[in-house]
Amino acid sequence: MKAAIFVKPGKMEIKEMSKPKIQKSTDAIIRILRACVCGSDLWWYRGISKRESGSTVGHEAIGIVEEVGKDVVAIHPGDFVIAPFTHGCGQCAACRAGFDGSCLNPTESANGGYQGEYLRFEQANWALIKIPGKPQDYSDAQLNNFLTLADVMATGYHAATSAEVKSGDTTVVIGDGAVGLCGVIGARLRGASRIILMSHHEDRAKLGLEFGATDIVSERGTDAIKRIMELTNDNGADSVLECVGATSAIKQAGQVARPGAVVGRVGVPQIEPSSNTLFWKNIGLRGGVASVTTYDKNLLLDEVLKENINPGKIFTKRFDLDHIQDAYEAMDKREAIKSLIIVADK
């Protein structure tokens, strides 16, 4: 089978590999239909974080289950599924509390191999999300919506949940990448009445407005903070979604939050932030790895099936597996909000 591998910073390749096999009774083998490149993949693609040369990559996909281990009873061969990047066991204290992204039974193969023809998926019984029917029953746009439920839409929703967005809130979203844009959808689903998206790119701002943002702040630095304070009558926002991960973004989140607000962060933190602003304004900071399976099963799959949300619009360029290098370059050069990879038609 073909799979994408990381060669060195800036260089991806397709390699012929042996098809994965069931190793544990809780595994499933999935034939991948669609995968995609994540903003977090750019950390190692750009050489900012380390990754082993020759390792398989990708952590978001949809596909068809081919085979399951003997303890997998909720999912069957032939099922059409979402393969999240998280592998919640569904039974530990973290999973039961709704934090399957921090499952206490971690797996060895997490975070790699989804950008390929076949995937060995651990903790398949609980972590996989079954989509009703077959891929052929859905439009191209719906298939892309399902794919976002493997990571980015659930992560955006997690930012909104972590920020405790509630009905009537004025919410600020920092970051206009795919996660920030899905954060706008998340804030809307949780009932925010005003959603201020900070965006410097016209195409991303436009999609943000379509997803439910009510205001766009395109200024940078202190001008951006000034503008948000004007928009909130000098109070600051009730909730803030930090979808970047840079220290400057967390600092900015504290500056635009009203006293007593909560900041939800899902950007993978690069450096620990100074927490002084948060202290003086009684601002809460929480967030982490998204509860993908929990959100998909409780809410997000239903919202997609009802066509209430269209997060798949973040895929602005598509590639086949053989053009994996182009898929990464498009994200790296910001030519695509998110790169879609078509692995198989059906």
Which residue ranges make up the site for Zn ion (CB under 5 A)?
38, 40, 88-89, 92, 95, 103, 151
Residue with tokens 């950390």: 43
Q: How far is the CB of 105 from Zn ion (least distance, A)?
A: 5
Q: How far is the CB of 258 from Zn ion (least distance, A)?
A: 30
CA dihedral 207, 210, 215, 219 (to 10 degrees): 10
Toward Zn ion, which CB reaches closer, 38 or 343? 38
Toward Zn ion, which CB reaches closer, 236 or 295? 295
Q: How far is the CB of 264 from Zn ion (least distance, A)?
A: 17
For β-strands 2-8 and 11-16, DSSP reports them as antiparallel
Toward Zn ion, which CB reaches closer, 103 or 216? 103
Q: 285-324 burial string, b = 16+ CB within 10 Å, else e?
A: bebebbbbbbbbbeebbebbeeeebbbbbbbbebbebebb
Backbone angles phi, psi at 333, to 5 degrees: -90, 10
Q: How far is the CB of 244 from Zn ion (least distance, A)?
A: 14
* CA 265/CA 155 separation, integer angstroms: 10
Q: How far is the CB of 328 from Zn ion (least distance, A)?
A: 14
Toward Zn ion, which CB reaches closer, 55 or 275? 55
* CA 174/CA 217 separation, integer angstroms: 10
Q: How far is the CB of 154 from Zn ion (least distance, A)?
A: 10
Per-residue H/E/C for 21-65: CCCCCCCEEEEEEEEECCCCHHHHHCCCCCCCCCCECCCCEEEEE
Toward Zn ion, which CB reaches closer, 61 or 205? 61
Toward Zn ion, which CB reaches closer, 187 or 266? 266
Residue 104 DSSP symbol: S
Toward Zn ion, which CB reaches closer, 59 or 258? 59
Q: How far is the CB of 16 from Zn ion (least distance, A)?
A: 26
- Bridge partners, residue 318, by sequence: 340
* CA 62/CA 114 separation, integer angstroms: 9
Residue nearest to Zn ion (CB): 38
Tell me if 159 sits within 8 A of 241, measured CB to CB: yes
